Amino acid sequence: MTFDTLAHALATGADATANRAFLATQHSADIAQFLNDHDAEIDWRVLDLLELSRQAEVLGYLDRAMQVELARSASRSRLAAVITAMDADDRADLFNALTEDEQEALLPALAQAEREDIRRLASYEEGTAGSIMTSDYAVLVPGLTAREALERLRLEAPDKETIYRAYVVDADRKLIGSVRLQDIILASPSTPVEKIMERNTRAVGVEEDQEDVAKKIARYDVVALPVVDADNRIVGIVTHDDALDVLTEEATEDFHKSGTVQGLAESVRQASIFVLYKARVAWLVLLVFGNIFSGAGIAYFEETISAHMALLFFLPLLIASGGNAGAQSGTLMVRAIATGDVRMTDWGRILGRETLVAGLLGLTMALAIYGIGLWRGGAEIALVVSIAMVIIVLAGSLIGMILPFILTRFGMDPATASGPLVTSIADVVGVLIYFSIARAVLF
Amino acid sequence: MTFDTLAHALATGADATANRAFLATQHSADIAQFLNDHDAEIDWRVLDLLELSRQAEVLGYLDRAMQVELARSASRSRLAAVITAMDADDRADLFNALTEDEQEALLPALAQAEREDIRRLASYEEGTAGSIMTSDYAVLVPGLTAREALERLRLEAPDKETIYRAYVVDADRKLIGSVRLQDIILASPSTPVEKIMERNTRAVGVEEDQEDVAKKIARYDVVALPVVDADNRIVGIVTHDDALDVLTEEATEDFHKSGTVQGLAESVRQASIFVLYKARVAWLVLLVFGNIFSGAGIAYFEETISAHMALLFFLPLLIASGGNAGAQSGTLMVRAIATGDVRMTDWGRILGRETLVAGLLGLTMALAIYGIGLWRGGAEIALVVSIAMVIIVLAGSLIGMILPFILTRFGMDPATASGPLVTSIADVVGVLIYFSIARAVLF
């Protein structure tokens, strides 16, 4: 059996036993992918074949939009049961995606513990550590022996996201250390947890940016990081799989910004036409007005151009080269700043190297274009075009390199500075450089 | 004490005890960052203050270039000792970064087991599962009881990258399942491993692309995935932290490609001028020749332009808008294909929606530009410019959307299709559309 034949079997109402046996061998993530591709009615028929805990797991892997669709098509008691069985962080996210009316309708159907947990997790601002953490973590007190700690973790394991690291807290729930499951197993049974725990446990604040948290998990190669409130009391943990999702999400956001697409949080495949339009229109219109300056630059040099129409042949090529060189250096800088490879204080050193690299690139490009200049317009035009090329590539590269630093300096996101924005600025500069040189040499 | 005062303390040769105490509280990743920022001489002085196992851990976190620098400045016996203590995957990567002569010099100083392990891991091609896997994984045989399995893992824990999941193999080392440490702890001590293991353990092939492996770890939220050879024998594991590094690396590569920067594997901060030049020059020159077509297009319409020089004012703005719209849709598609949000088979549905979105964007842009057309050139020019804008934005968007699919279809990497390449193609198309419409309307 495959997922393709499952769809067929469900449609024809065939024997549920075979379907159930097939689903038992499949990973919840794969079942979720199948559900994402089908409608709510089919989806509920699949979920009916699974145990409640498995239903909750599959639901956790679904796209947010499909989760909401399923939540809306379920009875309140059924939804309450499956939501109760979900991981704490997944269910808080789903809860946040519902309308206020739907939230109000759902809450009374939940037990008090879940109700409070959801309310608390859902209250943290989008994009913070609090918004991605889970409350399913294991805590220990320092006085327990290794044997007692192991017994405790054994009992708690089924409800916890991870027991590979447990957090040690004092009587006020303040974080004082953490201990790895493997160290508990390795210790002799009577050793107190206090003796085997790591005291320098790194924690993150509940308001901390989710991207910084994810980067710390990547940096320290840990399975999870504890989240603490202002009083150093543990309130949750962020796990490695959530860190991975956050880093992918943030890379997508940077990628989109570099192409001047703004604020498209959801899937491209599922976004509505209006959402896609809205994500693109503002920058597109803004850049048109930026390009008016290039047009004005050309209009300013109308006489020069009328006298030497051959100059026009080289216009796209020269201004595009400045833009392309700028896009290259901008892309390099934006990504290097995002990954932490380059820091703000490095700009001086980078500037020197970029000048050298761009100079070499400009010379190469000038050589490439000199012959074409000779052929299309003679020696003078070839000279103008070659000189202009060196200066334009240099200028474009430096604009691309510096702009991300300037945006960062003023508290703006540098990611926008790698694509069309750099190209538009380089265009204006290119027009002015080209025709200024032309006028100086040819008249 | 801080890392700043540590640098000072090392320079003045102050009391080693205080430095040692400070380093004991710091994470190896943070120590490595300090070492990355200093030279080999200072670095060895810091490493001298650490135990061998800690030295190896810090070395594992270092940038590859700094690792090599340190390896070159160490005596052969010292290098052999620290390399032996490193994680198997880290040391194989370091080994691969050395010259053949250096490798030959190092191998005899190592014990046979390490020598063979390094040779084996280093033999896998860059970018495959084999190249990022480690050989420090835990295996169990199915006949062991839970108590015996736990005892075995306890003994092996210090040498293994993770014991949170152990792999169950038959007499031929063929993978037959896997078992989580927490399930071993939860089971009654006499239960055989066979009864508690998961049989449907997902494995990856040793030749599989590292990006696919990382995506599977992200998809299935696992701590590690086993790697098997063609006969289903386990040869290593890839862990979640390596998956995270791979995904970050691949995102950087895609980001660079979108800005037509090719093959820059290393850090921008550390790359040499020649490496940076080489990464950029090919595309830059290639695109110049692409832009010659735009120039030729303009030259072809020279008469139209001479008669209506006002048309030139709108040239940058129109062709840039086509390029910008193309960059937007290209960026969206490239990233959606990379993350798996959009699949090859979706292109038809996406094309329909993109046409609608681009049509709306084009109309908005035409409205924005109509008034400026009236002001600069009168009613006829305004009409030409507005019609051209709608068609150019539509054409640019569709080129940006389709190009990634075409490249993928022909087995090429789509990432290049989001930046300057799309812009250059859109430029040519923009020139032809604009002046064709102008000639038709104005003459």
Determine contact: B251 vs chain A, CB below 8 A: yes
Contact B361 A277 (CB under 8 A): yes
Each residue's pLDDT, cut to its tens digit, for chain B (443 residues) gives: 788 888 888 777 767 888 888 998 899 999 999 998 888 888 999 999 999 999 999 999 998 889 999 999 988 889 999 999 999 889 999 999 999 999 998 999 999 989 999 998 889 998 999 999 999 899 999 999 999 999 999 888 777 878 889 999 999 999 999 999 888 988 889 999 999 999 888 999 999 999 999 999 999 988 899 999 999 999 999 999 999 999 988 888 888 888 888 877 777 887 888 989 999 999 989 898 888 999 999 999 989 998 988 899 999 999 999 999 999 999 999 989 888 888 888 888 889 999 999 999 999 999 999 999 998 888 999 999 999 999 999 999 999 999 999 988 888 888 877 778 888 899 999 999 999 999 999 87
Spell out which residues of chain B touch residue A341, defining contact as CB-CB under 8 Å. 267-269
Q: Which residue type occupies A237?
A: I
Contact A291, B430 (CB under 8 A): no
Contact A114, A70 (CB under 8 A): no
Contact A420 B327 (CB under 8 A): yes
Among candidates B223, B331, B341 on the partner chain, residue whose Cβ is nearest the Cβ of A259: B331
Determine contact: B363 vs chain A, CB below 8 A: no
* Alpha helices, DSSP H, located in A229-346: 240-258, 273-300, 302-307, 310-339
Among candidates B182, B315, B350 on the partner chain, residue whose Cβ is nearest the Cβ of A298: B315
* Cα A430 to Cα B311: distance, rounded to the nearest angstrom: 19
Contact B335 A255 (CB under 8 A): yes
Indicate the helix (H) or strand (E) that contains A131: helix A129-132
Contact residues, A window 192-221, toward B, CB-based 8 Å cutoff: 200, 202, 217-221
Spell out which residues of chain B touch residue A248, defining contact as CB-CB under 8 Å. 218, 247, 251, 339
pTM: 0.85
Neighbours of B13 (CB within 10 A): 8
* Cα B367 to Cα B154: distance, rounded to the nearest angstrom: 72
Per residue in A147-162, pLDDT (tens digit) is 999 999 988 877 787 8
Q: Which residue type occupies B174?
A: K
Provide the shortest C-alpha distance from residue A71 to chain B (in Å): 22
* Cα B126 to Cα B211: distance, rounded to the nearest angstrom: 12
Q: Write the DSSP assignment of A30-75 as a string of letters.
A: HHHHHHHTS-HHHHHHHHTTS-HHHHHHHHHHS-HHHHHHHHHHS-
Determine contact: B245 vs chain A, CB below 8 A: yes
**DSSP strand pairing (B162-169 vs B137-140):** parallel
**Closest alpha carbon within chain B to A313:** B295
Instruction: With a cut of 70, list the residues of chain A below it in pLDDT.
Output: 14
Half-sphere exposure of residue B334: CA atoms within 13 angstroms, side-chain side: 39
Q: Write the DSSP assignment of A348-371 as a string of letters.
A: HHHHHHHHHHHHHHHHHHHHHHHH
What pLDDT, on the 0 to 100 scale, is given for residue A321? 93
Query: Which residue is associated with the tokens 């049974």?
Result: A189
What pLDDT, on the 0 to 100 scale, is given for residue A409? 87
Query: Which residue is associated with the tokens 């032809």?
Result: B432
Determine contact: B40 vs chain A, CB below 8 A: no
Per residue in B211-223, pLDDT (tens digit) is 999 999 999 988 8
Contact B230, A55 (CB under 8 A): no
What pLDDT, on the 0 to 100 scale, is given for residue B361? 96
Contact A324 B285 (CB under 8 A): no
Contact residues, B window 373-412, toward A, CB-based 8 Å cutoff: 393
Mapped onto helix, strand or coil, the DSSP state of residue A284 is helix
The angle formed by the CA atoms of residues B94, B95 and B100, to the nearest 5 degrees, is: 135
Neighbours of B188 (CB within 10 A): 10
Residue among B127, B431, B422, B430 nearest B283 (CA): B422
Provide the shortest C-alpha distance from residue B116 to chain A (in Å): 27
Determine contact: B7 vs chain A, CB below 8 A: no
Through-space distance between the first and last CA atoms of chain B, rounded to whole angstroms: 80
What pLDDT, on the 0 to 100 scale, is given for residue A160? 81
Determine contact: B341 vs chain A, CB below 8 A: yes
Determine contact: B4 vs chain A, CB below 8 A: no
Contact residues, B window 65-104, toward A, CB-based 8 Å cutoff: none
Determine contact: A351 vs chain B, CB below 8 A: no
Contact B291 A320 (CB under 8 A): yes
Query: Which residue is associated with the tokens 């027009």?
Result: A431
**Closest alpha carbon within chain A to B36:** A341
Task: Classify residue A125 by its DSSP letter.
Answer: P
Indicate the helix (H) or strand (E) that contains A180: strand A175-180
Determine contact: B314 vs chain A, CB below 8 A: yes
Provide the shortest C-alpha distance from residue B312 to chain A (in Å): 7
* Cα A321 to Cα A393: distance, rounded to the nearest angstrom: 6
Per residue in B78-132, pLDDT (tens digit) is 999 999 999 988 999 999 999 999 999 899 999 998 999 999 888 999 899 999 9
Residue among A390, A220, A394, A256 nearest A334 (CA): A256
Contact A287 B321 (CB under 8 A): yes
Which pair of structure tokens corresponds to residue B125? 């091609």
Rounded to the nearest 10°, the torsion over CA A158, A164, A165, A171 is 30
Angle between helices B76-85 and B52-61 (to 10 degrees): 80
* Cα A304 to Cα B6: distance, rounded to the nearest angstrom: 63
Question: Three-state SS across chain B?
Answer: CCHHHHHHHHHCCCCHHHHHHHHHCCCHHHHHHHHHCCCHHHHHHHHCCCCHHHHHHHHHHCCHHHHHHHHHHCCHHHHHHHHHHCCHHHHHHHHHHCCHHHHHHHHHHCCHHHHHHHHHHHCCCCCEHHHHCECCEEEECCCCEHHHHHHHHHHHHHHCCEEEEEEEECCCCEEEEEEEHHHHHHCCCCCEHHHHCECCCCCEECCCEHHHHHHHHHHHCCCEEEEECCCCEEEEEEEHHHHHHHHHHHHHHHHHHHCCCCCCCCCCCCCCHHHHHHHHHHHHHHHHHHHHHHHHHHHHCHHHHHHCCHHHHHHHHHHHHHHHHHHHHHHHHHHHHHHCCCCHHHHHHHHHHHHHHHHHHHHHHHHHHHHHHHHHHHHHHHHHHHHHHHHHHHHHHHHHHHHHHHHHHCCCCHHHHHCHHHHHHHHHHHHHHHHHHHHHHHC
Spell out which residues of chain A touch residue B182, defining contact as CB-CB under 8 Å. 153, 157, 163-164, 181
Provide the shortest C-alpha distance from residue B437 to chain A (in Å): 19
Contact A129, A210 (CB under 8 A): yes
Among candidates A185, A323, A328 on the partner chain, residue whose Cβ is nearest the Cβ of B261: A328
Among candidates A248, A325, A353 on the partner chain, residue whose Cβ is nearest the Cβ of B339: A248
Among candidates B283, B295, B332 on the partner chain, residue whose Cβ is nearest the Cβ of A314: B295
Contact B298 A313 (CB under 8 A): yes
Q: Which residue type occupies A128?
A: T
Contact A284 B247 (CB under 8 A): no
Determine contact: B342 vs chain A, CB below 8 A: yes
Query: Which residue is associated with the tokens 């980078």?
Result: A350
| Interface probe with B: pick from A33, A162, A268, most Cβ of B within 10 Å | A268
Which pair of structure tokens corresponds to residue A246? 């956050």
What pLDDT, on the 0 to 100 scale, is given for residue B417? 74
The angle formed by the CA atoms of residues A250, A253 and A256, to the nearest 5 degrees, is: 150
Number of A–B residue contacts, CB under 8 Å: 340
| Interface probe with A: pick from B23, B147, B155, B241, most Cβ of A within 10 Å | B241
Which pair of structure tokens corresponds to residue A250? 């943030």
Determine contact: B325 vs chain A, CB below 8 A: yes
Among candidates A182, A298, A424 on the partner chain, residue whose Cβ is nearest the Cβ of B312: A298
Rounded to the nearest 10°, the torsion over CA A7, A9, A11, A16 is -110
Contact A295, B314 (CB under 8 A): yes
What pLDDT, on the 0 to 100 scale, is given for residue A417? 73
Mapped onto helix, strand or coil, the DSSP state of residue A343 is coil
Half-sphere exposure of residue A154: CA atoms within 13 angstroms, side-chain side: 14
> Which residues have CB under 8 Å from B101's CB, separation 6+?
none
Contact B287 A200 (CB under 8 A): no
What pLDDT, on the 0 to 100 scale, is given for residue B169? 95
Which pair of structure tokens corresponds to residue B256? 């660079």
**Closest alpha carbon within chain A to B239:** A221
Spell out which residues of chain A touch residue B304, defining contact as CB-CB under 8 Å. none
**Closest alpha carbon within chain A to B363:** A281
Which pair of structure tokens corresponds to residue A344? 């703000």
What are chain A's domains? Answer: 3-123 (1.25.60.10), 137-239 (3.10.580.10), 273-442 (1.10.357.20)
**DSSP strand pairing (A137-140 vs B204-205):** unpaired
